Structure 1
């Protein structure tokens, strides 16, 4: 579904990803990318989303090279990225935010909206509420729901637990697990234990390089991961 082949990525004169390769297959429900702050995890998602250029290497979705595609073209290909910033339209209502997520799937809007409301009942209850007036956990649910409105084949989530209380974080992970039953999830997450526990496969990214790759359970047993992150 995704193939990243030996990419180099920079910000100006500073290189942040080095000869990085990874993939997501049809058999994966959750693929986790873990590592310390500043390792390049968010940059990797930005690259796949078309938000940041590649210096060298290739990125493909379903066998098609997407190096030159725009972010909107990549959404139409079925790859949807929910940023850690959420990027909600604060003065718009919950429903209006969800409708914005369906800009590539207008014909299916009502059906998809009902599916999102079934997954996140709080969004239906607060449909007419401004997004900016919601709690952090509710805003994260809205960001996830808006991403699903585009009917993705792969949903990339960047730090979905960022800034949330532990109890809310647990609920968010439960929802991600539920989403992964129907949509492949590419998960970047600081909560290493929780991310690896739900991952079919996982990558450890440090200093812009993949340093370990294994099943989620395999990385949980890695001496390096245990010592550095658990």
Structure 2
């Protein structure tokens, strides 16, 4: 489980998150975080990943204080973050990118790659192709597949539909739904309607604060969410 307890976060002199509480459990299928651009959503994932420190409060990763862990420790414990930028190794092949995702879990490498190929058949078809030569949708699938190679307990996806055509977005969401049957998905997504429909629990983040926590359906039926985001 990941727990954020009363955290404050800043970039230099600019505070971006205030006294924020949030938790994600392996018992969840999908937890969505929605809100406007600049609300601090991506910063939360960086904090959970150990990529950005907190000024106050506490982040707990399966019982361990995140302040005592480095990003590799957090991945090994089961939290894997697929960033909005994807950060693929463009001059490496699809297969090589997947292998890089398994750097903390080399045992059973071939079995894990086979599972990823079953979820994303296009990756097997393009296994020898350079990542940089793939389409945007294929690169997104590769980024998610590489995240799965680390055998996560919680897979955090930051704007997985960013820049994708509607038809490709539909396919990506189908894959996310399939993943959530086995692995907890923490989802940040610009398509608020879809993100909330998928979520068992959801957080509405505005101006660096959680203004509401509810079921996905509960937030979807909120007048404020309807007026501001749908």
Task: Tell me which interval the TM-score lies in, with the shorter structure as reference length.
Answer: over 0.9
Q: Say which SS state the counterpart of residue 194 (structure 1) adopts.
A: helix
Tell me the residue number matched to 1:213: 213
What is the CA distance between 1:44 and its match in structure 2?
A: 0.3
Tell me by how many angstroms 1:66 deviates: 1.3
Please give the residue correspondences for 1:59-98 in structure 2 after superposition, counting only pairs within 5 Å: 59-98=59-98
C-alpha separation in 2, matches of 1:68 and 1:209: 25
TM-score w.r.t. the length of structure 1 is 0.99
Partner of 1:164: 164
Quote how far apart the aligned CAs of 1:108 are. 1.4
> Deviation string for 1:70-103 (max 9, x for gaps)?
1111101110000000000001000000000000
Counterpart for residue 109 of structure 1? 109
State the partner residue of 2:126.
Answer: 126
Gaps of 5+ in 1: none
C-alpha RMSD over aligned residues: 0.6
**For each residue in 1:126-162, what CA deviation from the matched residue of structure 2 results, as whole angstroms up to 9, or x when unmatched?**
0000000000000000000000000000000000000
Partner of 2:18: 18
- State the 4+ residue runs in structure 1 displaced beyond 4 angstroms: none
Residue segments in structure 2 that go unaligned for 5+ positions in a row: none
Partner of 2:194: 194
Q: Residue 225 of structure 1 corresponds to which residue in structure 2?
A: 225
| 1:34 alignment partner in structure 2 | 34
CA deviations 1:167-224 (Å, max 9, x no partner) are 1111101100000011100001111000000000000000000001100010000010
How far is the alpha carbon of 1:24 from its aligned partner? 1.2
Name the structure 1 match of 2:155. 155
Normalization by structure 2: what TM-score? 0.99
State the 1:2 CA deviation. Answer: 1.2
Residue number in structure 2 paired with 1:136 = 136
| C-alpha distance in structure 1 between counterparts of 2:26 and 2:105, whole Å | 22
Give the drift of 1:62.
1.8
Aligned length: 230
Contact 2:220–2:226 (8 Å) recurs in 1: yes
Query: What is the CA–CA distance in structure 2 between the aligned matches of 1:32 and 1:204, rounded to whole Å?
Result: 9
Residue in structure 2 matched with residue 5 of structure 1 by the alignment: 5
